């Protein structure tokens, strides 16, 4: 045996030990057993974040009005993330990831239709039950916002709105159904609260969900006034499960077969992010953090003192 052979053996053993340690950390990053296959071996850690920053979106669309009084919101980010809220904030949201060429096509539609040259308001006097579109587009340091209704919007703006409506329709058609399960509508302070996110593939075909890191889900609590006012965007949370946790920056994929149902769960101690007990009315939410993914409709919980 050559002199360098023992060194090679130690080196290979060390690599194996590092791999075992990183795999173990990945298993511990979430409360659920690992059912993913890794598609990339970058192992930097990521601190659990709060909600995304709405100002990072290069497209923001809010649709309001109509006979039913809707509140639909669409966000498109530079990295391709797209988020759609159905009747914000209580009815949850859907998210997905757009390829780079689709992001480029969206930008081109705004530019080709001279969005920055449009007036700030196109509104019809005295009309009732119209849909109102509040759309913002950012390109570099330049940003412009237009408010319009169905009747008064000029053809160039309608072309942009048609494109954005197709994005909303596509997200609505995604077959993942997310449901937050809470054991009771009322609990006593100090009692552990078991929260479950139920994920159902309503399609007959398989769906592949891609996670940008080892985080699979999140749970959070929101004060009732934030939900009732519905002006904060996104909602300010009292507590978020992922906040402060570390996740590995390893891309993972999960395949959901047609009709498959799975539940992901955690236990909340009923305290806010500063460690103070939460009492009274609180609204709970749950998210599947992959693409496609999204958030389940909120659930109200009463915590008795």
Place of tokens 């969900």: 209
Most confident of 11-15, 49-53, 241-245: 241-245
**For residue 37, is it within any domain?**
no
Count Cβ atoms within 10 A of the Cβ of residue 118 and give its class: 0-12 exposed, 13-18 middle, 19 or more buried: buried
Mapping DSSP to helix (H, G, I), strand (E, B) and coil, where does residue 51 land?
coil
Whole-prediction pTM = 0.81
Q: Is it the case that residue 147 has pLDDT exceeding 90? A: yes
CB of 158 closer than 8 Å to CB of 150: no
Mapping DSSP to helix (H, G, I), strand (E, B) and coil, where does residue 199 land?
strand
Query: What is the residue range of 197's domain?
Result: 45-49+174-304
Q: Which CATH number characterizes residue 288's domain?
A: 2.60.40.2360
- Listed residues 141, 172, 203: the one ending a domain: 172
Q: Is it the case that residue 10 has pLDDT exceeding 50? A: no
- Listed residues 172, 195, 222: the one ending a domain: 172
Question: In this predicted model, what pLDDT tens digit does every residue of 231-269 receive, in sequence order?
Answer: 667 788 999 999 999 999 999 999 999 999 999 999 999
Place of tokens 């934030």: 226
Mean pLDDT of the chain: 86
Q: How many domains does the chain have?
A: 3
Among residues 147, 177, 203, 172, the alpha carbon closest in space to that of 286 is found at 177
Are residues 96 and 148 both part of a single domain?
Answer: yes
**For residue 35, is it within any domain?**
no
Among residues 94, 154, 93, the alpha carbon closest in space to that of 121 is found at 154
Are residues 26 and 77 both part of a single domain?
Answer: no
Percentage of the chain with pLDDT > 70?
82
Are residues 225 and 121 both part of a single domain?
Answer: no
- What is the distance between the terminal CA atoms of the chain, rounded to a whole angstrom? 73
Are residues 294 and 189 both part of a single domain?
Answer: yes
What angle, rounded to 10 degrees, do the helices at 100-112 and 155-172 form? Answer: 160
Are residues 97 and 188 both part of a single domain?
Answer: no
Q: Which CATH number characterizes residue 101's domain?
A: 3.30.1560.10
CB of 109 closer than 8 Å to CB of 43: no
CB of 219 closer than 8 Å to CB of 197: yes
CB of 29 closer than 8 Å to CB of 215: yes
Among residues 50, 52, 46, 106, the alpha carbon closest in space to that of 83 is found at 52
């Amino acid at each position: 045996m050559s002199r360098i052979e023992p060194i090679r053996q130690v080196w290979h053993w060390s690599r194996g030990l590092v791999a075992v340690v990183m795999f173990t950390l990945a298993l511990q990053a979430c409360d659920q057993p690992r059912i993913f296959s890794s598609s990339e071996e970058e192992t930097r850690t990521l601190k659990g974040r709060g909600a995304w920053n709405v100002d990072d979106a290069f497209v923001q669309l809010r649709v309001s009005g109509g006979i039913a009084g809707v509140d639909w919101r669409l966000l498109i980010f530079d990295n391709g993330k797209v988020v759609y809220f159905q009747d914000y904030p209580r009815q949850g949201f859907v998210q997905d990831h757009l390829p780079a060429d689709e992001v480029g096509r969206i930008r081109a539609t705004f530019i080709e239709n001279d969005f920055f040259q449009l007036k700030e308001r196109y509104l019809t006097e005295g009309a009732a039950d119209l849909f109102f579109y509040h759309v913002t587009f950012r390109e570099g340091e330049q940003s412009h916002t237009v408010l319009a209704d169905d009747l008064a919007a000029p053809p160039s703006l309608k072309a942009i709105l048609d494109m954005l409506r197709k994005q909303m329709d596509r997200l609505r058609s995604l077959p993942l159904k997310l449901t937050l399960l809470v054991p009771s509508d009322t609990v006593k302070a100090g009692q552990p609260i078991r929260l479950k996110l139920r994920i159902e593939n309503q399609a007959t075909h398989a769906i592949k969900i891609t996670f940008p890191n080892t985080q699979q889900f999140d749970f959070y609590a929101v004060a009732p006034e934030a939900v009732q006012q519905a002006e904060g965007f996104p909602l300010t949370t009292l507590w978020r499960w992922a906040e402060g946790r570390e996740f590995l920056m390893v891309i993972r994929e999960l395949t959901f077969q047609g009709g498959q149902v799975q539940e992901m769960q955690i236990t909340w101690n009923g305290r806010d992010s500063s460690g103070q007990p939460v009492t009274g009315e609180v609204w709970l939410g749950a998210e599947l953090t992959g693409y496609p993914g999204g958030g389940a409709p909120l659930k109200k919980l009463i915590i008795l003192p």
